[in-house]
Amino acid sequence: MRVLIIGSINIDDVFAVGQFVRPGETISCRSYARHVGGKGDNQAMALARAGAEVYFAGKIGEDGRFILDALAGAGVDTSRVAVSGIPTGRAIIQVQDDGQNCILLAPGANKDIRPADIDSFLEGWGSGDMVVFQNEISSMDYALAEAGRRGLTIVLNPSPVTESLLSLPVGRADWLILNETEGQALTDSSDVESIAGLLRGKFPATEIVLTLGDQGVRYEGRNGSSLQVPALKVKVVDTTAAGDCFTGFFLADILEGKDVLTALTTATRAAAICVGRPGAQPSIPTRAEVETFDPEDR
C-alpha cells in the first residue's frame, strides 16, 4: 500500500525559554533555531525515516523551495508540492525548560490549498492506497469527501483543534489518530477517562488511536477490541512533533501489515526518542534508532 500525505509545511522559528512569554512582557530566549516543520511535512518525514514509500502533497511559497530538498533527501516524493504566490507557513514556537511548547501559526500557503489542488494531488490515487490528513490546510472538507469518493483508506490526525474541525466529516476517516485535547474537542467532554468511549460511540466505523501523554496510548478498534500501551519514562527536552513522529511510525508499521499492538509499541518508542531531542523534524528518529532504543539509558 502506498501512502500520500496531504498536509502542511512550515518554517519553524524555535525559541528556547525558561517560561513562556506573558502578556506585556519582553524576554530574551536562551537559544534560537530555525527548522523545517509543519504537521504534514513532519509526518511525511517520520514515515520515510520509518522506511515507508511516501508521497507528499502540499503548498509552499517561493521562500520554501529549499524544504523540498530535505524531503527528497529523505526519499519522499515531492512531485505533488505546488508553489503559491503566498509565503510558506510559519510557526513561532516557544519551548520551556520542562519541554512543553506553545505554537503560533501564520498558515501562509497552507491555507491557499483549493479544491482544484486537492483534485490534482489525488490524481492517480484510489482504492488500495492510503491518504493521511492533519488539520493545518484549507479545503479539508472537500479533501475528506474526495478521498472517500475515490475509495482511499483515510487517516485523519485532527490537529490542531480549530473551530472548523467541529464541522468536518471526521467519521469518514478509517483511522483517527488524536491526542486528548483533540479528543476533548470532538466529544465535548473534559473527562479524559470517558473520551475513548465517546469517540467509539460517535465514530463507529473508525479505528481510534488516542494518545494520552504520560498515560500512554489507547486503541479502540471498530470491531470492539481495545488495547492500552504505557508510555516510556524518559527525560523530556522538547515535545514538539512527538505526535507527528508517533503517527508516522504507527502508520509505517500498519502499512507493512504489522498488528496494531506492534505498531503502537513501535510508535511509542519513536515518540520517546523524539521528546528527548530539541526541534520538530530534527528530533524524529530513524527506524534503526527506534529498534536499538533502550529507555533505561536515558
Q: Catalytic amino acids?
A: 244
Among 244, 265, 267, 269, binds ligand RIB (CB under 6 A): 244
Among 46, 176, 241, 245, binds ligand RIB (CB under 6 A): 241
Choose among 48, 31, 36: nearest CA to 12: 36
Residues whose CB falls within 8 Å of the CB of residue 143, separated by 6 or more in sequence, listed in order: 6, 118, 133, 137
Site string for ligand RIB, 42-61 (x = CB under 6 A): x-------------------
CB of 103 or CB of 260, closer to ligand RIB: 103
Site string for ligand RIB, 119-158 (x = CB under 6 A): -----------------x----------------------
Which stretch in 23-31, 34-42, 163-171, 195-203 sits in contact with ligand RIB by CB under 6 A?
A: 34-42
Name the strand (E) or helix (H) holding 83. strand 77-83
Which stretch in 7-15, 150-158, 180-188, 256-264 sits in contact with ligand RIB by CB under 6 A?
A: 7-15
CB of 57 or CB of 152, closer to ligand RIB: 57
CB of 95 or CB of 152, closer to ligand RIB: 95
Site string for ligand RIB, 81-100 (x = CB under 6 A): ----------x---------
Kindly state whether residue 270 participates in binding ligand RIB, applying the rule CB under 6 A. Answer: no
Kindly state whether residue 238 participates in binding ligand RIB, applying the rule CB under 6 A. Answer: no
Among 5, 6, 7, 39, binds ligand RIB (CB under 6 A): 39
CB of 96 or CB of 262, closer to ligand RIB: 96
Kindly state whether residue 10 participates in binding ligand RIB, applying the rule CB under 6 A. Answer: yes
Which stretch in 16-24, 35-43, 57-65, 137-145 sits in contact with ligand RIB by CB under 6 A?
A: 35-43
DSSP-assigned letter for residue 278 = S
Which set of grid coordinates corresponds to residue 294? 533502550
Burial of residue 262 (number of CB atoms within 10 Å: 0-12, 13-18, 19+): middle
Kindly state whether residue 271 participates in binding ligand RIB, applying the rule CB under 6 A. Answer: no
- We find the least distance from the C-beta atom of residue 221 to ligand RIB, in angstroms, to be 26
Residue tagged 504537521 (cell numbers)? 39
Angle between helices 260-275 and 242-255 (to 10 degrees): 150
How many residues bind ligand RIB (CB under 6 A)? The answer is 14
What is the residue-wise DSSP string for 128-188?
A: T-EEEE-SSSS-HHHHHHHHHHTTPEEEE---S--GGGGGS-GGG-SEEEEEHHHHHHHHT
Which set of grid coordinates corresponds to residue 82? 505546488
* Sign of the four-CA dihedral 67, 69, 70, 72: positive
Among 37, 61, 248, 276, binds ligand RIB (CB under 6 A): 37
Cα–Cα dist 33/31, whole Å: 7
Choose among 67, 74, 70: nearest CA to 48: 74
Which stretch in 62-70, 194-202, 240-248, 290-298 sits in contact with ligand RIB by CB under 6 A?
A: 240-248
Which set of grid coordinates corresponds to residue 159? 490537529
CB 42 within 8 A of CB 170: no
Residue whose CB is nearest to ligand RIB in the complex, by number: 37
